């Protein structure tokens, strides 16, 4: 039903699902995209996460990971298993993030969070995913997509969120958090898409099973990536241009004035070639 209002009021148009969900992220700070993966695909993602993490734990050492508070975080799995690039570039997530950040955005990080029953996780403290930033902006600089690979609920250690807190310059009081936090029940195969300035944390897993999630941070290209994906992956034959841009291949820092001009020369020549 069309709402009625009076006064000289403008109203946001939200004509399709992407616009409606973008509006939820803009105002409330988050939305949930459901039905991104079915049961069979989820079983495969679980195996891939467990195997990539086991390799990282073997390589770096369990005690060494514990010493740097980095147990049960599978960092940048796409560097070990290119299938994770598909997760990072899921078309429905790309459409929503593109609506919020504009056409050109890059992947800053991809980390799988393995929340085991009754074990404290470093991500269970309140934070923003642009950490240490205590200010607000009117237009988002960064958006997250946290894929639920297992069901997220208050019982399984689902994500706690403080709605609207991306609009608060500093962390609200404990009393405010207690009264206003939400732990959305999110079925496996969905993604929570949120403004990266929204305060959030992982919950305590009181269930019998592992709760896995894969977090992605997308930013406008002026921000530094957590991992230098182009340098880590090197030249990859047949990488689609949209994926190359997402991974940061077109946003690398030039070494010096020469490289900066060469890159601009190539870009302008490409644009002219395209227009001809
Ligand atoms: O695992 C979660 O529910 C939250 C993850 C998180 O806070 C993060 O990766 O920044």
E strands present in 106-166: 106-115, 142-148, 160-161
Percent of the chain with pLDDT over 90: 88
Average pLDDT on 43-62 reads: 98
Mean pLDDT of 197-211: 97
Ligand 1: centre distance to CA 270 (Å): 40
Contacts of 83 (CB under 8 A, 6+ apart): 48
Note the pLDDT of residue 275: 42
Give the model's pLDDT for residue 13: 87
**CA of 144, closest atom in ligand 1:** 10
For residue 44, give both structure tokens.
């495969």
Calculate mean pLDDT across residues 262-269: 92
* Ligand 1 atom nearest residue 158's Cα: 3
Predicted local confidence at residue 272, as pLDDT: 75
- What average pLDDT score do residues 137-145 get? 96
Per the DSSP assignment, residues forming a β-bridge with 218 are 107, 143
Q: In angstroms, what is the span from residue 207 Cα to ligand 1's centroid?
A: 18
Q: Would the CB of 159 count as within 6 Å of ligand 1?
A: yes
Query: Whose Cα sits closest to atom 4 in ligand 1?
Result: 202
Q: Are 73 and 112 in contact (CB under 8 A)?
A: yes
Which numbered atom of ligand 1 lies nearest the CA of 157? Answer: 3
Q: Report whether pLDDT(243) > 70.
A: yes
Nearest CA to ligand 1 atom 1: 202
Q: How confident is the model at residue 157 (pLDDT cuts 50, 70, 90)?
A: very high
Contacts for 242-247 with beta carbons within 8 Å, 24 or more apart?
A: 242/89, 243/85, 243/89, 245/104, 245/106, 246/88, 246/89, 246/94, 246/105, 246/106, 246/107, 247/85, 247/106, 247/107
Q: Give the pLDDT confidence of 71-128 residue by residue, as tens digits.
A: 999 999 999 999 999 999 999 999 999 999 999 999 999 999 999 997 887 778 999 9
**Residue whose tokens read 């009181």:** 206
pLDDT per residue over 210-228, tens digit each? 999 999 999 999 999 999 9
Residue closest via CA to ligand 1's atom 2 equals 202
Tell how far the Cα of 239 is from the centroid of ligand 1, in angstroms.
29
Q: Would you place residue 273 in the very low, low, confident or very high pLDDT band (cuts 50, 70, 90)?
A: low
Count other C-beta atoms under 10 Å from residue 144's C-beta.
26
Closest to 157 measured CA to CA, from 127, 186, 195: 186
The mean of the pLDDT values for the chain is: 95
Instruction: Round to whole Å and give the CA distance between 256 and 270.
Output: 21
Q: Is the CB of 200 under 6 A from ligand 1?
A: yes
Atom index in ligand 1 nearest the CA of residue 152 equals: 3
The angle subtended at Cα 104 by Cα 267 and Cα 21, nearest 5°, is 165
Alpha helices in the chain (DSSP H): 17-27, 39-60, 62-67, 83-88, 91-101, 174-180, 229-233, 241-247, 257-275
Ligand 1, residues 112, 215, 217: which to mutate, most atoms within 8 A of Cβ?
215
Q: Per-domain residue ranges for the chain?
A: 17-227
Domain 17-227: homologous superfamily in CATH = q2cbj1_9rhob like domain (2.60.120.620)
The C-alpha atoms of residue 263 and residue 271 are separated, in whole angstroms, by: 12
**Is pLDDT of 2 > 90?**
no
pLDDT at 276 over 50: no
- Name the region of 169 (left: φ>0; alpha: ψ -120 to 50; beta: rest): alpha
Q: Phi and psi for 11 in degrees, rounded to 5?
A: -135, 140
Check: CB of residue 110 under 8 Å from CB of residue 76: yes
CA of 121 to the centre of ligand 1 (A): 9
**Confidence (pLDDT) at 4:** 84
Inform me whether the pLDDT recorded for 35 exceeds 80. yes
Q: Is 77 in the pocket of ligand 1 (CB under 6 A)?
A: no
Q: How far is the CA of 159 from the centre of ligand 1 (A)?
A: 7
Assess whether the C-beta atom of 212 lies below 6 angstroms from ligand 1. no
**Residue 137 DSSP label:** -
Residue 27 CA to residue 4 CA, distance in Å, equals: 20
Q: Is the pLDDT of residue 67 over 90?
A: yes
């Amino acid at each position: 039903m069309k709402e009625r209002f009076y006064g000289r009021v403008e109203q946001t148009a939200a004509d399709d699902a992407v616009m409606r969900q973008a509006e939820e992220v803009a105002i409330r700070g988050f939305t949930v995209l459901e039905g991104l993966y079915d049961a069979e695909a989820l079983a495969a993602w679980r195996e891939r996460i467990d195997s990539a993490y086991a390799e990282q734990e073997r390589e770096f050492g369990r005690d060494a990971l514990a010493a740097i508070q980095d147990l049960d975080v599978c960092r940048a799995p796409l560097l070990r298993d290119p299938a994770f690039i598909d997760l990072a570039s899921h078309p429905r997530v790309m459409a929503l993030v593109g609506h919020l950040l504009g056409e050109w955005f890059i992947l800053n990080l991809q980390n799988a969070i393995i929340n085991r029953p009754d074990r404290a996780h470093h991500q269970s403290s309140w934070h923003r995913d642009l950490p240490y930033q205590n200010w607000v902006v009117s237009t988002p600089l960064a958006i997250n997509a946290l894929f639920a690979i297992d069901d997220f609920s208050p019982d399984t250690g689902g994500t706690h969120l403080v709605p609207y807190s991306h609009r608060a310059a500093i962390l609200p009081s404990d009393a405010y958090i207690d009264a206003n936090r939400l732990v959305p029940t999110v079925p496996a195969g969905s993604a929570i898409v949120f403004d990266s300035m929204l305060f959030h944390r992982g919950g305590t897993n009181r269930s019998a099973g592992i709760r896995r999630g894969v977090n992605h941070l997308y930013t406008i290209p002026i921000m530094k990536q957590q991992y230098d994906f182009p340098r880590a992956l090197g030249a990859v034959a047949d990488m689609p241009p949209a994926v190359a841009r997402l991974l940061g291949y077109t946003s690398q820092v030039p070494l010096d004035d020469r490289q900066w001009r060469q890159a601009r020369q190539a870009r302008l020549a490409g644009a002219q070639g395209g227009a001809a």
